[in-house]
Amino acid sequence: MDFESRGNYHTAIQEFVRGSKADEFTIARLAVDLAGQARLQFRSIPVTRERRGHVGYYLVDRGRQTLQKRIEYRAKGFKQITEAFHDAPELLYFISLEVLIVAIMAFVVSGIRVGVPLIAATLLLLFPASEPRWRSSTSW
What was the pLDDT predicted at 102?
78
Count other Cβ atoms within 10 Å, centred on residue 69: 9
Contact 79, 88 (CB under 8 A): no
Residue 138 has pLDDT above 80, yes or no: no
Mean pLDDT of 102-115: 72
By percentage, how much of the chain surpasses pLDDT 70? 81
Q: Which ranges in 19-72 belong to alpha helices (H)?
A: 24-41, 46-52, 55-60, 64-70
What was the pLDDT predicted at 9?
94
Mean pLDDT of 21-29: 95
By percentage, how much of the chain surpasses pLDDT 90? 43
